[in-house]
Amino acid sequence: MSALRENNQKKNEDPTIIIGAGLAGLSCAFELVDHGKPVLILEAAPYVGGRTGNWDERGMEVESGFHKFIGYYKELPKLLERAGIDLDQMLAWETTMQVRHPDAEEYGEFGLDVIHAPLKTLSGVLGNNDFITPGDKASLVPFLAAGFKDCVSRPEELDEISLLDYAKQHGVNEQALERIVEPLSSGIFFMPLEQYSAYAFFGLFLPGIPRIHKMRIGAFTGGMTDVMCAPLAAAIEQKGGQIRTNAPVTRLLVGVNGLEGVELKDGERFKANRIVVAANIRRSQQLLEEHFSEHEWFQPFLTLDAMPHVTVQFESALPLLPEDRTIFGPGTDVGSFGEQSRTTFRGRPGRASIIMVNPDELIDLPDEEVWHRARRGLAAIGLHEGVSSVTEYRIVRGNENFYRIAPGNERKRPEQVTPIRGLYLAGDYTKQPMFTTMEGAVLSGQKAAAGILEEATE
């Protein structure tokens, strides 16, 4: 019998079991232990962080994907500060981003920080006329105005149309579509415009409008497990929570009287009448299907599709770019990328991560072909010399971590509190306004914890 189980039995108190130590599970756990509730997190991987994790991949340190911290997030920074994590040490703020298009003679450079870099931000909007003409910029105005209005007044209808169709309906010029809309959509969530929900696009940016003064992008100063998730996990343990890695849950145990616990891959069982399923979308669906596939409430969620992700990460003898910042590569297979040798992966002469677009086409290709497409995309936007000194690369891919933000899928996202007493869901695929983001994961965990605390008072 494990020490964890002996400890639980000595207390004669069953903790809430949280399946998954990503940001959703960690945020839920922190809220519960902060209210004096016992918690046991069971994580399948050997590290915490989930989709916001980093690990050693055959001798090379990698991350789950190219992540950035958005300045207008609210709950994530509050959570980290409560856990004693210094954001100024965890992040390096970027003041500009670049957009490079293979057909453009110049690249676009746009300011990101209204407060700390106001002139750069203003010049980015008014300038860059060689990259995108004033007429192209003007074509975006009715599109953006209508989109944000519809996002508030008729979100269900907006979710039924693709971003591409919505942009065309509102007269967005082709160049504006390729050089502005595509980077802000496909470059972030790596789906082509015709597969991307217009609601997901406008809904992501809507919360930033009243917080425009907070609009900036932060690069992590280390791997996300190292600088964010492991310290958050340590804070949970300091408050009495328990975390066990290398503990893949394969079954929920359900009896005639409701939830009874969980079973691990090795057959070990843990008793619990409160369970938070905070695994990735595909794993969560698999856990729920065994017992609840016929339950009407769960059926929409069980049909919610996941989408793959493919990233290319490499080390080189020379840096790809003169500074670490976010770059978008519309018109290529390279969605967004950045040099990271001065921020996230210090100590390497050169280190970059790339989010590849059209992952449905790439997910099953050999690593060599994905690498070839990444090199071709970088060369097309003027960075062929930067990849000539690459020493090694890794392809990090998966098809279980993201829900597909396609038209019509918003109605399939479940709430965090289920109709099964004691069963809760946490993950950015659940209903919350920040979609597939770190902020969304945190919000989902907090909503699940609120449901548990409310149940405890009944």
pLDDT band at residue 12 under the 50/70/90 scheme:
low
> 135 exposed, middle or buried (CB, 10 Å; 0-12, 13-18, 19+)?
exposed
How far, in Å, CA of 438 to CA of 446, rounded? 13
Look-up of token digits 């990460």: 313
Q: What would the pLDDT profile of 364-420 be if each residue is shown by its tens digit?
A: 999 999 999 999 999 999 998 888 999 999 999 999 999 999 999 999 999 999 999
How far out from the chain centre does Cα 262 lie?
Answer: 27
**pLDDT at residue 3 above 50?**
no
pTM for the whole structure: 0.95
Least Cα distance to 8 among 258, 275, 244, 272 occurs for: 272
Pairing of strands 60-63, 306-316: unpaired
Tell me how far CA of residue 444 lies from CA of 34, 144, 287, 432, in angstroms.
Answer: 17, 28, 18, 6
The answer to whether 164 touches 201, Cβ cutoff 8 Å, is no
**pLDDT at residue 9 above 50?**
no
Interacting residues of 388 by C-beta distance below 8 A, sequence separation 6+ = none
Q: Which helix (H) or strand (E) holds 148?
A: helix 134-153
Q: What would the pLDDT profile of 287-335 be if each residue is shown by its tens digit?
A: 999 999 999 999 999 999 999 999 999 999 999 999 999 999 999 999 9
Which of 108-122, 187-201, 241-255, 336-350 has the lowest average pLDDT? 108-122
The answer to whether 405 touches 189, Cβ cutoff 8 Å, is yes
The mean per-residue pLDDT over the stretch 124-137 comes to 91
3-state class (DSSP) for residue 66: coil
The answer to whether 193 touches 177, Cβ cutoff 8 Å, is yes
- The amino acid present at 448, given as its one-letter code, is A
Determine the pLDDT at residue 1. 35
The answer to whether 227 touches 90, Cβ cutoff 8 Å, is yes
DSSP codes of every residue in 215-231: --EEEESS-HIIIIIHH
DSSP codes of every residue in 401-430: EEE---TT-GGGPPPSB-SSTTEEE-STTS
3-state class (DSSP) for residue 143: helix
- The amino acid present at 74, given as its one-letter code, is K
The mean per-residue pLDDT over the stretch 420-429 comes to 98
